[in-house]
A and B are shown apart, each in its own frame.
Chain A
Amino acid sequence: MSTKLEKALYNISALADLGQAITSENDFHEKIQSLLYVITGTFLANKGAILFYDKSTNRLNTSTQKGFAQADLDRLNPEELMSLGRNEPCLIGNDPVLAVAGAEVLAPMWVRHDFIGALLLSGKLTVGPYTPGDLELLSVIANQIAIALNNHTLFMDLSDKLEDNRRLYEEMRRIYHGTLQAFAAAIDAKDAYTKNHSHRVAKYSVAIARELGWNEHEIEGMYVAGYLHDVGKLAISNALLNKVTPFTPEEREEIRKHSTLSHNITSKIKFPWKNVEDMVWHHHERLDGRGYPDALAQESLSDGVRILTLADSFDAMTSQRPYRKKMDVQSAIAELRKNLDSQFDNKVMLVFCKVLAKEIKGELPEPDILPHLDRDSDLSVITDLLEGIIAELSTP
Chain B
Amino acid sequence: MTSRLEGDAAIIYPKGYLNNLSGESLVIECGIYIGKGITKIIVNFSETDLINSIGISMLLQIMEDLKNIKGTICCTNMSKFLRDTFEMLGLIQHMLVFPVESDALKYLKARKS
Chain A residues proximal to chain B, CB less than 8 Å: 1, 3, 6-7, 10, 13-14, 17, 21, 34, 36-42, 44, 46, 66-67, 124-126, 128
Contact = CB atoms under 8 A, between A and B. Distances in A.
Interface string B52-79: 1111111011011000000000000000
Given A17-B53, A126-B93, A40 B60 contact: yes
Given A10-B88, A44-B89, A44-B91, A125 B60 contact: yes
Given A14-B53, A37-B58, A44 B90 contact: yes
Nearest to B64: A46
Contacts of A42: 53, 56
Contacts of A3: 88
Contacts of B55: 41
Contact of A40 (B52, B57, B89): B57
Contact of B53 (A38, A125, A126, A128): A38
A41 B60 contact: yes
B52 A46 contact: no
11 contacts: A7-B88, A10-B85, A17-B53, A37-B23, A37-B53, A41-B54, A41-B55, A44-B60, A44-B90, A46-B60, A128-B90
B20 A34 contact: yes
Contact of A126 (B52, B56, B57, B90): B90
B88 A41 contact: no
B93 A41 contact: no
Main secondary structure of the interface of A (DSSP, over half): helix
Given A13-B52, A37-B54, 13 more contacts: A1-B84, A10-B53, A21-B54, A37-B20, A38-B53, A39-B53, A40-B57, A44-B56, A44-B60, A44-B90, A44-B91, A125-B91, A126-B93
B63 to A, nearest CB: 8
B54 A6 contact: no
Nearest to A14: B53
Main secondary structure of the interface of B (DSSP, over half): helix
Contacts of B23: 37
B93 to A, nearest CB: 7
Nearest to A4: B88
Contact of B56 (A34, A36, A41, A67): A41
Contacts of B19: 17
A10 B64 CA distance: 22
Given A34-B20, A44-B60, A13 B90 contact: no
Contact of A17 (B52, B85, B90): B52
A1 B94 CA distance: 23
